[in-house]
Amino acid sequence: MAEYQYQTRILVAVDCILFGFDGEQIQLLLIKRGFEPMKHQWSLMGGFVQPDESTDDAANRILKQLTGLEGIYLEQLHTFSSPDRDPIERTVSIAYFALIDIKQYQQQLTDQFQAAWFPMQDIPTLIFDHEQMVKMARQRLRYKAASHPVLFELLPQKFTLPVLQHLFEDVYDTQFDKGNFSRKMLSTGLLLKQTDKDKGSSKKGAFYYKLDKKNYKKNFHQLLRIVPNAHELI
Amino acid sequence: MAEYQYQTRILVAVDCILFGFDGEQIQLLLIKRGFEPMKHQWSLMGGFVQPDESTDDAANRILKQLTGLEGIYLEQLHTFSSPDRDPIERTVSIAYFALIDIKQYQQQLTDQFQAAWFPMQDIPTLIFDHEQMVKMARQRLRYKAASHPVLFELLPQKFTLPVLQHLFEDVYDTQFDKGNFSRKMLSTGLLLKQTDKDKGSSKKGAFYYKLDKKNYKKNFHQLLRIVPNAHELI
């Protein structure tokens, strides 16, 4: 097969962008790279795809090998293929991302490659084009959060509006007016007001709410009225 | 660099899914594959990525080489990496897609690989996992059409509601109730009614409409109320 015979075979890698919510803010998981070049520099979890596995399987295998984490649904984000992205040899990398509840997975996390969580505003310099990958993953997260209950799934079963607002502010890197956010969120029809209050943060207390899962499909697009620059997300 | 040295290099390819609108229906561009195995069988436009180019550049180069088409914005869709997808040798393929106005590009189209347009309901059997790629591209198109003016951009400057309905029915592979569709579409605030009518299709005639580009950003999410199963798209 002549057409195949003369082709250049290329290194194929995967890189994993893992966001975690700790109850207050969204963080990014990084490791210290285990081989040259740039050994010991902060990096996404990445590695090379083996002959007998898909990129999906490689991403899961590599995440487990480097951090101990498993059972996480990794979504394919984008393939990065700039010929110069890896200074040693031309490498094409398929990036994957996920958003998890840190508390749920903290026990699995190993220290072999010094895996650590970094707040989004305090991300260190990363190798290669990993910062570009993180940037794209953040944008994808914003789009998903505007149309899926993904953020609600991270919060406890019941939550207050201030907590919900803080999470949206973290994801969209913005400040909402408190009254505006509450009013708009309540008008989406997505929330079920509970009878009890959280008296911890203020004397008056804040009512608990739950996600109305029955009506989610009908009303999810209302979230697009709340998030900033929604038309740029989708 | 030991970590690099022992890795398997892999064949990397791109495949292009090109949808075209001819004024009435959406069609898919296919070619007859030019090399073994499965030479002369219907195929997407595909080829191998060269050492000095990104996958974006490869997609554009290959589309031009196989069909003559150029100047089309190809969007990266997904990377397909099942180890068995190519029976000759393990190949990872990055799929790209686009939706074009056929009339605008018809002159560029060459016959070298017998490029031909097929209505979505009449697509022949394709090689490898190309049908899976087309299926995913159709789903992405449905999602984009529910939140971007992409379908409006294919229609003439002014159009009637029946023509708009036919196009949405083609993309979503569904039948809309005529009164329902008109009422919902008019309530989106996306259309500007014109004073003239198209008297060609019926004695009474149908009013022309234009897309309200000024208010598009504010109202685009209203399209999600019209398309079927919107919650599954996003």
**First-residue to last-residue Cα distance in chain B:** 43
Residue pair A63/A105 in contact (Cβ under 8 Å)? The answer is no
- Rounded Cα gap, residues B164 and B169, in angstroms: 9
Using alpha carbons, select from B130, B132, B122, B201 the residue that is nearest to residue B161.
B201
Mark which of B145, B171, B205 sits at the end of a domain: B145
Label residues A64-92 b or e (16+ Cβ within 10 Å = b): bbbbbbeebebbbbbbbbbbebbeeebbb
Judgement on whether residues A17 and A129 belong to the same structural domain of the protein: yes
Which residues share a beta bridge with A139? none
Q: Looking at the domain assignment, is residue B200 inside a domain?
A: yes
Contacts of B83 in chain A (CB under 8 A): 51-54
Nearest to A53 among B35, B83, B230 (CB): B83
- Which CATH number belongs to the domain containing residue B194 in this structure? 1.10.10.10
Answer whether A84 touches B (CB < 8 Å): no
Q: Looking at the domain assignment, is residue B152 inside a domain?
A: no
Answer whether A94 touches B (CB < 8 Å): yes
Q: At what angle do helices B161-172 and B130-145 cross, to 10 degrees?
A: 140
Contacts of A88 in chain B (CB under 8 A): 1, 4
**First-residue to last-residue Cα distance in chain A:** 43
> What is the bridge-based pairing of β-strands A11-21 and A91-101?
parallel
Confidence (pLDDT) at A1? 63
- Rounded Cα gap, residues B218 and B221, in angstroms: 8
Q: What is the DSSP letter of A69?
A: -
Task: Give residue-wise pLDDT tens across range B49-80.
Answer: 999 999 999 999 999 999 999 999 999 999 99
- Rounded Cα gap, residues A59 and A196, in angstroms: 43
Window 118-147 of A, Cβ < 8 Å to B: 147
Q: Looking at the domain assignment, is residue B151 inside a domain?
A: no
Task: Give residue-wise pLDDT tens across range B137-168.
Answer: 999 999 888 878 888 888 888 999 999 999 99
Judgement on whether residues B139 and B184 belong to the same structural domain of the protein: no
Residue pair A96/A77 in contact (Cβ under 8 Å)? The answer is yes
Q: Looking at the domain assignment, is residue B3 inside a domain?
A: no
Amino acid at B61: R
Q: What is the total count of domains within chain B? A: 2
Contacts of B217 in chain A (CB under 8 A): 231
Confidence (pLDDT) at A181? 95
Answer whether A214 touches B (CB < 8 Å): no
Mark which of A145, A169, A203 sits at the end of a domain: A145
Judgement on whether residues B24 and B140 belong to the same structural domain of the protein: yes
Helix spans in chain B (H): 2-5, 55-67, 102-105, 130-145, 150-154, 161-172, 178-187, 216-219, 230-233
Q: Looking at the domain assignment, is residue B24 inside a domain?
A: yes
ipTM of the complex: 0.91
Judgement on whether residues B141 and B177 belong to the same structural domain of the protein: no
Q: Looking at the domain assignment, is residue A215 inside a domain?
A: yes
Residues 6+ apart with CB under 8 A from B40: B32, B33
B148 to chain A: nearest residue by CA?
A234
Burial of B87 (0-12, 13-18, 19+ CB in 10 A): exposed
Confidence (pLDDT) at B1? 63
Judgement on whether residues A130 and A31 belong to the same structural domain of the protein: yes
Confidence (pLDDT) at B185? 93
Rounded to two decimals, what is the model's pTM?
Answer: 0.91
Cα dist from A38 to A34, A88, A128, A164, A195, whole Å? 9, 11, 9, 39, 55
Helix (H) and strand (E) counts for chain B?
9, 10
Task: Give residue-wise pLDDT tens across range A33-58.
Answer: 999 999 999 999 999 999 999 999 99
Judgement on whether residues B64 and B177 belong to the same structural domain of the protein: no
Judgement on whether residues A202 and A110 belong to the same structural domain of the protein: no
Q: At what angle do helices A130-145 and A161-172 cross, to 10 degrees?
A: 140
State the nearest Cα–Cα gap between A206 and chain B, in angstroms: 30
Q: Is residue B68 left, alpha or beta, with left meaning phi > 0 and alpha meaning psi from -120 to 50?
A: left
Given a cut of 90, is residue B229 above it in pLDDT? no
> Range of B206's domain?
157-233
Q: Looking at the domain assignment, is residue B39 inside a domain?
A: yes
Query: Please, what's the largest Cα pairwise distance for chain B?
Result: 77
